[in-house]
Amino acid sequence: MNSPGILKYILLSCCLMLIKISLAAQPYRYVENTAFARGEKLTFRVYYQSFVTGKVTAGEARLEVKDKPVTQNGRSTYHIVGTGESKGAFNLFFKVNDRFETFIDDQALIPWYFIRRTREGGYKKDDEVTFHQNNGIAVSRNAVKKIPENAQDILSVFYYARTLDITGVQPNESFPLSFFLDDSLYVSKIVFLGREQVKTSLGTFNCLKFKPMVIKGDVFAEPYPMVLWITDDKNRLPVMVSSAVIVGSVKMELISYEGLKNTLSSLVVHGKTIGSDTTKKGNSNGKNL
């Protein structure tokens, strides 16, 4: 090989190497997580309420951020598990046993891997989704789909939303959140309704009230049937969710927590907001709801 040929080869090799380095070093976003930590465990009572039946316990749901980090795509992640199961008489006519898992990047708060195991009555759905965030694609059991930058799954989007800075947000303002589910990208809009105190079996909380948009279907008659109350403190804990259905409503209420990252300063005692350390553990037997 002559000298000009060697020089051309060296220059081409250097260019290719620089391209690879630049792609490998492509920075991800950084999201400051002030809301949750490893070891956080939340338990919810799910119940159906109507004028005829009163309050009837339908099931229980749990959200847990596992203690140990898991490496995915060469990066440390939060391993988060969400479960839901029916209880008592509801098992006789509509048994539910759902499990969702997500592995969220510690710093970017984007998912790398998502697992779904759904059992609801006669309906069964299993799926795994690998998020190739670098390449903008998601690979499930059945499809390869394009995804936008920093795409979320249905579980990770909730934890990401808890970290959002909503300082100065005014009632009726909204912001978009999107997530990938069933090989499709869904865009939801979250409307802020204002601040409100909510009484639960764990106590009374100063809360931020939101109305998330959901997809219309056989169960939901309008795009905004759900109302969500989260604690007005750094934890941003969901303490109550209410969804209107065709007859009555379905509610989900926080009945126990542990491993919180911050003081639960939104809890009101004797009419005053407390500032003592309630981060370790709180629980309720679910009565007096």
pLDDT tens-digit map of 38-78 = 999 999 999 887 666 667 888 999 999 999 999 999 999 99
Whether 133 is in a domain gets the answer: yes
Q: Which domain holds residue 55?
A: 28-283
More confident residue, 23 or 130: 130
Mean pLDDT calculated for residue range 282-286: 55
Mean pLDDT calculated for residue range 188-206: 94
Whether 6 is in a domain gets the answer: no
Q: What is the pTM of this model?
A: 0.83
Q: What is the pLDDT of residue 215?
A: 59
pLDDT tens-place string over residues 104-144 = 999 999 999 999 999 999 999 999 999 999 999 999 999 99
What residues contact residue 165 under an 8 Å CB cut-off, 6+ apart?
Answer: none
Among 166, 187, 186, CA closest to 233: 166
Q: For residues 238 and 230, what is the distance between their CA atoms, to the nearest angstrom? A: 4
Q: What is the DSSP string of 43-66?
A: EEEEEEEETTTEEEEEEEEEEEE-
More confident residue, 40 or 269: 40
For residue 255, CA distances in Å to 21, 110, 228, 252 come to 49, 28, 15, 9
How many structural domains are present in the chain? 1
Whether 243 is in a domain gets the answer: yes
CB neighbourhood size of 7 (10 A): 11
Mean pLDDT calculated for residue range 4-27: 50
What residues contact residue 205 under an 8 Å CB cut-off, 6+ apart?
Answer: 197, 198, 229, 231, 232, 239, 266, 267, 268
Mean pLDDT calculated for residue range 183-201: 92
Whether 194 is in a domain gets the answer: yes
Residue 255 in contact with residue 44, Cβ under 8 Å?
Answer: yes
Whether 5 is in a domain gets the answer: no
Whether 240 is in a domain gets the answer: yes
pLDDT tens-place string over residues 138-177 = 999 999 999 999 999 999 999 999 999 988 899 999 988 8
More confident residue, 92 or 68: 68
Q: Which amino acid is at 247?
A: V
Using a 10 angstrom Cβ sphere, with 0-12 exposed, 13-18 middle and 19 or more buried, the burial of residue 272 is exposed
More confident residue, 168 or 4: 168
Whether 129 is in a domain gets the answer: yes
More confident residue, 99 or 245: 99
Whether 144 is in a domain gets the answer: yes
Share of the chain above pLDDT 70, in %: 77
